[in-house]
Structure 1
Amino acid sequence: MGSDFSTVKIRKVTSCPICKTMMSHPVSINCGHSYCEACILSYYCNVSPKTGWKMLGCPLCRSPFSLENLRPNKELETIIDMIKGMEEQDRDMVCEEHEEKLNRFCEDDGQLLCWRCYWEDRHKGHTLVGVKDVYQNYKGKLQNTLTKLCELQENHEVQIHLITNQINALKDAIEDRRQTIKSNFKNLQSFLQEEEKFYLWRLENEEKEMLRRLKGSEADLQQTFESAQCQIQELEAKCKGSAQKLLQDVKNTLSRCEAMKLNPLKAEPLKVHTKCNMSELYFDVKTILRRHQVGVILDPNTAHLGLTLSKGGRLVTYKSCSRDLQAGSSAKRFYGLPCVLGCEGFTSGRYYFEVSVENATSWDVGVCLENVQRGFNMKKEPEFGFWTIKMSEEDGLEALTSPPTPPLHLSEKPQVVGVFLDYEAGGVSFYSVTTGSHIFTFPKASFHDTLRPFFQVYQYSPLFLPAINNQGKK
């Protein structure tokens, strides 16, 4: 609260001249002096009946006043409330043992002391200083510590934010991997379902053929059995009849009966030939895919003028071209980007073809509608008739979807890419033939027009279309 002199002066100003204590609800009278409301009222009630006067003199200056002139002194009351609050705080900081003000500090024990604690034996020899003398020093230390703790808290907050981001990134990565696994197994299940139908169809046909042959043999035996039955009845009748009946046409009868022979039944073992190699189906996806493989030949009529096709139409390379690429181009030819289509058109069924990208660092591979845009405004996205994946040195492997999907990560760079089209199911899937693993499947589409193999070729990145592997087809 400041010095003792200031405290005494403030207490004098705020004390009631009548009760000599700090005023309660101070009021001012005509002369300007202030008193406790209760004290001035009590003074007036005690003096006025004795004198009979309605106007009394101020207890300090004797200036006349009446009760009608009393007015609350709000400013003084505010000051008194502030002083009481400060004294209340100071009252809390007193020695519990001696109830004296704590105005000393023991550096050795780190304790606040009053003047009486100061002289006790337990603090002899200790470094004792005034509170005001060490206040700023310890305040600075506390502020420095506070600053360090705030920095530590900020660092922890940053780390918590980083961990939160890592957790969210991990969840996203796990969910992405989960969806990839589900997609891979869904595709495999689709293949297996088709394989199941195929093997059951083969088994059913084999059953029909074997039953047809067995029932044919059964019918022949039944006919022979019935003929022998007739002959037996005829012989039995002759044997029971008279000599004339027995001998009548006896040679012809014997000849016919002796001619009948029982052809021995060939006891061929019944063996079902249709079987399914489950290990092959589960662990060799390439075998399944190659059942639908087609040989793709590049269409020179669609090739960009900067592309060079081999004689057999299986190898394509690109070199920069300074010619006016649009001049003289047919409606079928690409002139915006170095692209080319396969000759084959797909309008139904399931198809699979492979592209060797072993010597290419960048490439686009997939299928597209036959009538896609071929100019500089071409957009390779499904809504514009393209279902392709792209490899580039800058962005790696990605599927050209809209909106874009995250980059595709494989354990190793594919050397041969397989493209599988299921026209009726609306599916376009890509596989790494190198590892036999699934790369990407586009969301289900609805195909109505002709689809053709699509390739975009980059400089120093030739593409090659291998011949069909007949060993993989069945």
Structure 2
Amino acid sequence: MASATTSKKMREEATCSICLNLMAEPVSISCGHSYCQACLLRFMGPASSQQSHQHTQTFSCPQCRAPFQRGSLRPNKQLGGLIAALQEQEQELSCQEHGERLHLFCEDEGQLICWRCERDPQHKGHATALVEDAGPGYREKLQEAVRKLRQLEEECANQKAFTAKQIAEWNEKIEARRQKIQADFQSLLSFVRAEERSYLWRLESEEEHTLQRLRDREATLGQQSRELESRILELEERCQGSAQKVLQDVKGALSRSQAVRLEIPEAVSLEIQTECEIPEVYFDLRKRLRSHQVGVTLDPETAHPELILSKDQRQVMRGGCPQGAEDFSPLRFTVSPCILGRQSFTSGRQYFEVDVGEGIGWDVGVCLESVQRFVETMQKPEAGFWALRLCAKDGYVALTWPRTPLGLKEQPLVVGVLLDCEVGVVSFYNVTSGSHIFTFPRASFPDVLRPYFQVYPYSPLFLPSPDQ
């Protein structure tokens, strides 16, 4: 309690009698009393306008009424230091239970206590130390903890910088690979264009050479034709003349006409000699596609009741009679004459072929396993279908929405379907001619994909095995 009393007395001495708060920037006057500088200046009021009277003005001390002049104000640095120490002391924590200063540290409980807490049964027998004595040791421990955290922070920063460097390196590698792919294909395109020009030049040269020979032959025959016409005209004129003109040198004329022979120029072959065999290493499309080929068979549990399957489940045709309700599968298409393949696709590249023959109609492609099978559904990517169609009304179309006419010049007897699950692309090829038909825009596939077929009357579909 003595410490609290002392602090109280010190506070009273350091309190400004004008504002009743601890003095701020204390100043003393000639009688020895001190006040806040701002409070005393307000008490004295504005300084006189006459400079000679500024320091000789007399005022009375607010406490003892002793006279003092404006020029007697002096800063009280010692009192200012005492006030700062008192403010620091007042900022120290106090015990909430006893109101005493927390000047002890309980090692067992790890908390600050006052001298009265030390005597409580709660802390009886506990190891305690003065705050001043316990502080340095724990300060070192805290500094060591900070040091370790700094190390972790530095390691984290290094790892972050390393990861940022990896991101930059990865982006550089990807860009370099992208540029290499583009450069390689540009080189390939340049090579192909050069080869194309070379073959076209050869063809053009052959064209000119053969045309020249044909024109020469035509000119030779024309010359002979004119000569024959001249001789014919000569003999006809002789025949129309008098008997004397007919008989004049008649034997010579007959001899000369009989000596005329038709010289037929050498025949010119119309077989084109310039052959263009596209290098297999670049353009064997079927070989490249078949490196991803999978064997696909039909799933009878999904077949519409009107569809008939072969025993090996590789051929399907339309023409069956609807089965009874007991034969219906919950997986079966019941509205459209459709069927799915057994195989499921979730990743990688998958390729299969469908022999559509010369059928008058078909749908071939892939669909999500979750597509609607029991209600009328428009086949389009938004509904989970990526397929091509042949029908009498529209011909060949891609089942986008709206439909995309394909305008194929060659009838595909075998259609190849390439699914790239990673890229999200479905492409179709005419295996018969080795040409690309159509590629759907990139998409994300939210579900498993399966081969999809719709069967039309008199248009069976056949799935050849990869070995065929």
TM class by shorter-chain length? 0.3 to 0.5
Report the TM-score, using the length of structure 1 for normalisation.
0.39
